[in-house]
Structure 1
Amino acid sequence: MGPCRWTWSVSSRCVLRSLLARLQTAGALGLRKRLSTAPSSPLVCIVGSGPAGFYTAQHLLKHHKQVQVDIYEKLPVPFGLVRFGVAPDHPEVKNVINSFTQTASSNRCAFYGNITVGKDISVEELQQAYHAVVLSYGAEDNRQLGIPGENLPGVYSARAFVGWYNGLPENQNLEPDLSSETAVILGQGNVALDVARILLAPLDLLRKTDITASSLKAIAHSKVKQVWLIGRRGPLQVAFTIKELREMISLPGTKPLLHPSDFEGLGDVIKDLPRPRKRLTELMVKSALEKPSEKDSARWASATREWGLKFLSSPTEVLPCADGTRVAGIRLAINRLEGSGESAVAVPTGRFENLECGLILSSIGYKSLPIATSVPFDAKQGIIPNTMGRVHNVPGLYCSGWVKRGPTGVIITTMNDSFDTAQSVLDDLCSGRMDPSVPKLGFQSLRNTLQLRGVHPVSFSDWEKINASETAKGKEVGKPREKILDLEMMLRIQLKPARGVT
Structure 2
Amino acid sequence: MPYVVTQSCCADASCVVACPVNCIHPAPGEPGFAEAEMLYVDPRSCVGCGACTTACPVGAVVPDTALSEAQRPFADLNAAYYDAFPHADRAPLAPVPPQRRLREPRPVRVAVVGAGPAGMYVADDLLRHPEVRVDVLDRLPTPYGLVRAGVAPDHQHTKGAAGLFASVESQPGFDYLLGVEVGRDVAPEELAAHYDAVVTCTGASADRRLGVPGEDLPGSLAATALVGWYNGHPDHQGLDVPLDHARAVVVGNGNVALDVARVLTADPDDLALTDVGDPALAALRGSAVREVVVLGRREPAQAAFTTPELIGLAGLRGVDVVVDAPDLPTGDDPRARVLRELAARPLDPTLPTVVLRFCAQPVRVLGEDRVRGLEVERTRLVVRPDGVARAEPTGATEVLETGLVVRSVGYRGRPVAGLPFDEATGTVPHERGRVRPGQYVAGWAKRGPSGFIGTNKSCAQETVASLLDDLDAGLLQRPAAGAGAAGGGGLAALLRARGTAVVDLAGWRAVDAEERRRGAAQGRPRVKVTDLAELHAIAATARPARPARRGRARLGRYASRREDDVAAVVAR
Alignment of 1:388-399 (within 5 A): 388-391=432-435, 394-399=436-441
Cα pair distance change 1:7/1:479, threshold 3 Å: closer
Q: Which has the higher contact order (CA 8 A, sep 6+)?
A: 1
**TM-superposed deviation, 1:255:** 1.2
Q: Secondary structure at the match of 1:456?
A: coil
Q: Distance in 1 between matches of 2:212 and 2:309?
A: 29
Aligned to 2:235: 170
The one-letter amino acid paired with 2:100 is V
Structure 1: how far apart are the matches of 2:479 and 2:278? 51
* Contact 2:299/2:325 (<8 A) preserved: no
Partner amino acid for 2:109? L
Q: Whole-Å Cα distance in 1 between the matches of residues 292 and 479 of structure 2?
A: 59
Q: Which residue is equivalent to 1:23? A: none
What TM-score do you get using the length of structure 1 for normalisation?
A: 0.84
In 2, Cα distance between the equivalents of 1:336 and 1:102?
50
Q: Which is helix-richer, 1 or 2?
A: 1
* Pairwise CA distance, 1:41: 1.3
Give me the identity figure in percent. 38
Contact 1:112 1:459 in 2 (8 A): yes
Please name the residue that 1:317 is paired with.
Answer: 364
Deviations 1:427-472 (A, max 9, x none): 2223434366986343244234313321121111111111111111
Aligned mate of 2:450, from 388, 403, 408: 408
Q: Larger Rg: 1 or 2?
A: 1
Determine which of 323, 337, 351 is the counterpart of 1:304: 351
Conservation of the 8 A alpha-carbon contact between 2:195 and 2:478: no
SS of residue paired to 2:221: strand
Moved more, 215-224 or 278-287: 278-287
State the 1:140 CA deviation: 1.6
Query: 2:374 aligned with 1:330, yes or no?
Result: yes
Counterpart position of 1:65: 130
Q: Quick one: distance in 2 between partners of 1:207 and 1:339?
A: 46
Q: Distance in 1 between matches of 2:425 and 2:542?
A: 46
Which of 81, 90, 106 is the aligned partner of 1:40?
A: 106
In the alignment, the residues of structure 1 paired with residue 542 and residue 111 of structure 2 have an alpha-carbon distance, to the nearest angstrom, of: 28
- Alignment of 1:9 onto 2:99: yes
Distance 1:99 1:262 in 2: 43
Q: Identify the match of residue 159 of structure 1 among 219, 224, 234.
A: 224
Alpha-carbon separation, structure 2, partners of 1:227 and 1:315: 15
Contact kept, 8 Å, 1:155 with 1:360, in 2: the verdict is yes
Q: Give CA-to-partner distance per residue, 1:372-410, whole Å, 9 cap, x none.
A: 2x311011211001121111xx32111111111111221
Matches within 5 A, 1:193-342: 193-259=258-324, 261-263=326-328, 266-267=329-330, 270=331, 278-288=333-343, 291-292=344-345, 297=346, 300-301=347-348, 303-320=350-367, 324-339=368-383
The code of the aligned residue for 1:306 comes to T
CA distance in 1, matches of 2:438, 2:211: 37
Quote the offset at 1:345 in angstroms.
Answer: 1.6
8 A Cα contact 1:314 1:334, kept in partner: yes
Do the aligned partners of 2:433 and 2:441 also contact (CA within 8 Å) in 1?
Answer: yes
In structure 1, C-alpha distance between the alignment counterparts of 2:312 and 2:299, rounded to whole Å: 21
The alignment partner of 1:333 has SS state of strand
Per the TM alignment, residue 150 of structure 1 is displaced from its structure 2 partner at its CA by 0.7
Q: CA deviation at 1:252?
A: 2.3
CA contact (8 A) 2:192 2:479 kept: no
One of 379, 386, 389 as aligned partner of 2:430: 386
Q: Distance in 2 between matches of 1:491 and 1:147?
A: 40
| Partner of residue 526 from structure 2, selected from 481, 485, 494 | 481
Q: CA separation of 1:446/1:436 partners in 2, compared to 1, >3 Å: closer, same or farther?
A: closer
Q: Tell me the alpha carbon deviations over residues 14-43 of structure 1, each in whole angstroms, 9 at most, x when there is no partner.
A: 43xx6xxxxxxxxxxxxxxxxxxxx63121
Deviations along 1:44-89, one digit per CA (max 9) or x if unpaired, are 1100000000011111112x22111111011111111110011111
For the residue of structure 2 that corresponds to 1:117, the secondary structure is coil
The structural deviation recorded for 1:243 is 2.6
Contact in 2 for aligned 1:84/1:168 (Cα 8 Å): yes
What is the match of residue 426 of structure 1?
A: 468
Deviation for aligned residue 1:306: 0.9
Q: Is the 8 A contact 1:52 1:418 kept in 2?
A: yes
Residues 342, 377 of structure 1: CA spacing in aligned structure 2 closer, same or farther, 3 A cutoff? Answer: farther
Change (3 A) 1:223 1:99: same
Alignment of 1:85-234 (within 5 A): 85-234=150-299
Supply the RMSD in Å over aligned alpha carbons. 2.3
Pairwise CA distance, 1:258: 1.1
Partner deviation per Cα, 1:262-286 (whole Å, 9 max, x = no partner): 31xx32xx35xxxxxx322321133
Q: Deviations over 1:266-310 (max 9, x none)?
A: 32xx35xxxxxx32232113322xx44xxxx4xx43642111111
* Aligned counterparts of 1:237 and 1:428: Cα–Cα separation in 2: 42
Helix, strand or coil at the partner of 2:372? strand
Task: Give the deviation of 1:477 after TM superposition.
Answer: 1.3
In the alignment, residue 362 of structure 1 is paired with which amino acid? R
Superposed displacement of residue 342, structure 1: 10
Q: Distance in 2 between matches of 1:376 and 1:494?
A: 34
Shift of 1:260: 6.2
Q: Is the 8 A contact 1:201 1:252 kept in 2?
A: no
Letter in 2 for 1:496: T
- Give distance in 1, aligned partners of 2:181 and 2:292: 37
Alpha-carbon distance between aligned partners in 2 of 1:236 and 1:113, rounded to the nearest angstrom: 43
For 2:354, give the aligned amino acid.
W
Contact 1:180 1:358 in 2 (8 A): yes
Q: Is the 8 A contact 1:57 1:103 kept in 2?
A: yes
In structure 2, what is the equivalent of residue 49 of structure 1? 115
Q: Distance in 1 between matches of 2:227 and 2:264?
A: 11
Q: Does 1:361 align with 2:427?
A: no
TM-score (norm 2): 0.74
1:176-208 CA deviation, whole Å, 9 max, x = no partner?
A: 110000100011011110110011111221111
CA distance in 1, matches of 2:302, 2:124: 34
